[in-house]
Amino acid sequence: MSLADDLPWLAPAWQRLIAYTANDRLPQALLVTGKPGLGKMRLALAFAQRLLCRSPSDEACGICASCLLFQAQTHPDLQRVEPIEAGKPIIVDQIRGLIEKLALAPQYGGKRVVIIAPAQSMNISAANSLLKTLEEPDAHTLMLLLSDDPHSLPATILSRCQRLNIVPPTRDLALAWLSRKGVAQADALLTLAQGAPLRALALAGEDAIERRSGFFSAWQAVGAKRQDPLSVADRWQPSSTKTPPVSCESLTEWMLSWTQDLIRLRAASAQADLDNPDLRPGLQALSEKLDLKAIYAFLDRLLAARQMLTGQVNRPLLLEELLILWSRLQRH
Ligand SMILES: [Zn+2]
């Protein structure tokens, strides 16, 4: 099944990529942006395979020697640079290793593709090192940088990349797609995934709806000083187990999303459109007990926490701090 048939919302982006090749105007570096769960990596890989394919049409042929190497994940002219462990930064040694490989000609004499993902996880020295490569164009090589948070990339990198933004599908299209995949509770999951179908599909396998409402109840109880923030933090992010029931990243994203809704309710009106319409009564009650200024301060802290979570941080301790701060927010 072709990429655009399988993930139909990627069709416009795919058409734009194909237009680059048809006009032989492939940029040197392309920054693919869009929220998590839209298929940025699927798009990048499909396009890389199409560029390396010996007899491509609109898509890669899937049967030539190059495609076979690609499918076996052993194509020497595809270089992927990703954090060595999830959540860790991409470090300068990885970029140096890449640059060494790029100094040689492509092994199959055609194009070469580099995929760096997530691009914002490059630390400063890695980004600086990559910058030198971006400044010295190489006609054989296409750099694909993938990012769901391009604002945290250095301006110097941004200015050297063309942009391709992936837009989420309409709600109807996303719901139809999820229903074809046999997902129950698609509506609620899609809301939780902020409209990103692949994210919703992943959440369907994680009991995310039940877990989110469980954490929301705990969050309400901490906010109302009915539960101790430390015991809630320990229950949701036990420091003793290797695999916590819900990642600290997800818990932080949920709190961010609820806090943004609190601001909407407090600053706009009770009728404001919410990211979490199913939690409206609980959010409404919370918003009435809070100062707008205090909610903004908490939002700042959550945004800083999200940033910290892209690097090395003590996750149980971070959750404790956030919940303690949250427990002190309410006036009464
Ligand atoms: Zn092929």
* pLDDT tens, position by position, 85-122: 877 899 999 999 999 999 888 888 789 999 999 999 99
Give 49 Cα–ligand 1 centroid separation in angstroms.
7
Average pLDDT over residues 229-256: 81
Give 114 Cα–ligand 1 centroid separation in angstroms.
18
The set of residues, in sequence order, having a beta carbon less than 8 Å from that of 119 and lying 6+ positions away, is 31, 145, 146, 147, 150, 153, 157
Q: Are residues 132 and 234 in the same domain?
A: no
The token duo for 160 is 């050297």
Average pLDDT over residues 238-253: 74
What's the confidence (pLDDT) of residue 278? 85
Give 25 Cα–ligand 1 centroid separation in angstroms.
21
Q: Are residues 80 and 142 in the same domain?
A: yes
Establish if 26 belongs to a structural domain.
yes
Domain termination site, one of 114, 144, 167: 167
Question: How many structural domains comprise the chain?
Answer: 2
To the nearest whole percent, how much of the chain has pLDDT over 70? 97
Establish if 173 belongs to a structural domain.
no
Q: Are residues 218 and 147 in the same domain?
A: no
What's the confidence (pLDDT) of residue 331? 66
Cβ–Cβ under 8 Å, residues 34 and 165: yes
Establish if 45 belongs to a structural domain.
yes
Residue 292: give the domain boundaries.
206-327
Given a cut of 80, whether residue 215 has pLDDT beyond it is yes
Q: Are residues 77 and 147 in the same domain?
A: yes
How far from chain centre, in Å, is Cα 207? 20
Domain termination site, one of 118, 152, 167: 167
Given a cut of 60, whether residue 332 has pLDDT beyond it is no
Q: Are residues 134 and 213 in the same domain?
A: no
User: Which CA distances in Å does 123 have to 39, 295, 306, 318?
Assistant: 24, 30, 16, 21
Establish if 177 belongs to a structural domain.
no
Q: Are residues 139 and 222 in the same domain?
A: no
Give 54 Cα–ligand 1 centroid separation in angstroms.
5
Give 62 Cα–ligand 1 centroid separation in angstroms.
5
Q: Are residues 71 and 215 in the same domain?
A: no
CATH number, domain with residue 296: 1.20.272.10
Mean pLDDT, the chain, as a whole number? 90
What's the confidence (pLDDT) of residue 203? 87
**pLDDT band with cut points at 50, 70 and 90 for residue 243:** low
Establish if 187 belongs to a structural domain.
no
Give 3 Cα–ligand 1 centroid separation in angstroms.
15
Q: Are residues 213 and 119 in the same domain?
A: no
The neighbourhood of ligand 1, an ion, using CB within 5 A, equals: 53, 60-61, 64, 67
Give 18 Cα–ligand 1 centroid separation in angstroms.
15
Cβ–Cβ under 8 Å, residues 95 and 132: no
Give 67 Cα–ligand 1 centroid separation in angstroms.
4
Look at residues 326, 277, 311, 303 and name the one whose alpha carbon lies nearest to residue 122: 311
Establish if 192 belongs to a structural domain.
no
Distance CA 44, CA 49 (A): 9
CATH number, domain with residue 106: 3.40.50.300
Given a cut of 60, whether residue 242 has pLDDT beyond it is no
**Region of poorest pLDDT, from 35-44, 251-260, 275-284, 314-323:** 275-284
Establish if 197 belongs to a structural domain.
no
Cβ–Cβ under 8 Å, residues 235 and 245: no
Establish if 230 belongs to a structural domain.
yes
What's the confidence (pLDDT) of residue 240? 56
Q: Are residues 212 and 322 in the same domain?
A: yes
Q: Are residues 72 and 144 in the same domain?
A: yes
